[in-house]
């Protein structure tokens, strides 16, 4: 399966919401993982789990909104567990797995046996790890957008080359010249730009929305 995001490295994202439950020293740990494309989506999922499990002892969470290697917005919450024993270890698992646009919530029902700081770190990490092992993933393909202008005489030629390079013509405006707004998988963007520049003898230049040309 493929989905799209504008200008970021390719990465994997959750394909659906899953829930995995484990028991560790009489405590129940319920790991819930969902897609989350923004901080707000992640927080909304956490709140939904608070409502779904209102009598749980803790609702610990971690999220990565965006590409894991491209300055994503991240966050975590220990929700009353000792600092550093829940949210951060959960986030570490998500980042190690290189999953983006994801939120994980681990709901804990305390079973009466204290785990200690090290035990909590292992328990929350293992809960997310187990969920990630069965989590269906899909590839998110980086898409680059740009604008080019050409003479009317070159329009059909440009359309032909856009199709050859699997670029999508998003919009076409007609004025003194033909102005085309395009999108293309990032991996082929530079090849298309060089090709159009060569066949038009330097007359056609793509202005990419990220500032490149």
Q: Are residues 102 and 69 in the same domain?
A: yes
Q: Are residues 30 and 131 in the same domain?
A: yes
Q: Are residues 117 and 154 in the same domain?
A: no
From 135, 157, 173, the end of a domain falls on 135
Q: Are residues 56 and 161 in the same domain?
A: no
Q: Are residues 34 and 63 in the same domain?
A: yes
Number of domains in the chain: 2
The mean pLDDT of the chain is 91
Which residues, at least 6 apart from 142, have a Cβ–Cβ distance to it below 8 Å?
5, 6, 7, 8, 9, 10, 185, 186, 187
Domain that holds residue 80: 17-135
Q: Are residues 101 and 150 in the same domain?
A: no
Nearest-angstrom CA–CA distance, 204 and 158: 9
Mean pLDDT of 135-155: 90
Q: What is the pLDDT of residues 26-74, one digit of tens each?
A: 999 999 999 998 999 999 999 999 999 999 999 999 999 988 876 689 9
Nearest-angstrom CA–CA distance, 45 and 33: 9
Nearest-angstrom CA–CA distance, 200 and 156: 13
Q: Are residues 130 and 159 in the same domain?
A: no
Q: Are residues 50 and 92 in the same domain?
A: yes
Q: Are residues 160 and 125 in the same domain?
A: no
We report the CATH number of the domain holding residue 25 as 3.30.230.30
Q: Are residues 161 and 81 in the same domain?
A: no
Q: Are residues 161 and 106 in the same domain?
A: no
> Is 5 among the domain residues?
no
The overall pTM is greater than 0.85: no
We report the CATH number of the domain holding residue 199 as 3.30.70.240
Residue 90, both tokens? 């959960």
Q: What is the pLDDT of residues 85-108, one digit of tens each?
A: 999 999 999 999 999 999 999 999
Nearest-angstrom CA–CA distance, 175 and 152: 10
> Is 23 among the domain residues?
yes
What is the DSSP pairing of strand 102-109 with strand 27-35? antiparallel
Which residues, at least 6 apart from 178, have a Cβ–Cβ distance to it below 8 Å?
149, 150, 151, 152, 154, 155, 158, 172
Q: Are residues 191 and 124 in the same domain?
A: no
């Amino acid at each position: 399966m493929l989905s799209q995001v504008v200008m970021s490295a390719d990465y994997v994202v959750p394909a659906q919401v899953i829930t995995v439950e484990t028991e560790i020293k009489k405590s129940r740990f319920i790991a819930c993982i969902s897609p989350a494309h923004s901080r707000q989506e992640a927080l909304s999922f956490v709140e939904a789990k608070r409502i779904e499990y209102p009598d749980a002892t803790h609702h610990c969470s971690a999220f990565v909104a965006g590409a894991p290697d491209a300055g994503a917005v991240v966050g975590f919450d220990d929700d009353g567990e000792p600092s550093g024993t829940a949210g951060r270890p959960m986030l570490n698992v998500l980042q190690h797995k290189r999953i983006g646009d994801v939120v994980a919530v681990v709901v804990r029902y305390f079973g009466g046996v204290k785990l200690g700081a090290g035990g909590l770190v292992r328990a929350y990490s293992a809960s997310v790890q187990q969920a990630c092992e069965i989590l269906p993933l899909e590839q998110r393909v980086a898409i680059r957008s740009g604008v080019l202008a050409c003479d009317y005489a070159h329009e059909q030629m440009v359309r032909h080359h856009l199709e050859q390079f699997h670029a999508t013509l998003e919009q076409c405006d007609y004025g003194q010249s033909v102005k085309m707004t395009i999108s293309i998988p990032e991996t082929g963007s530079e090849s298309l730009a060089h090709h159009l520049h060569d066949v038009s003898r330097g007359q056609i230049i793509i202005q990419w929305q990220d500032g490149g040309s």
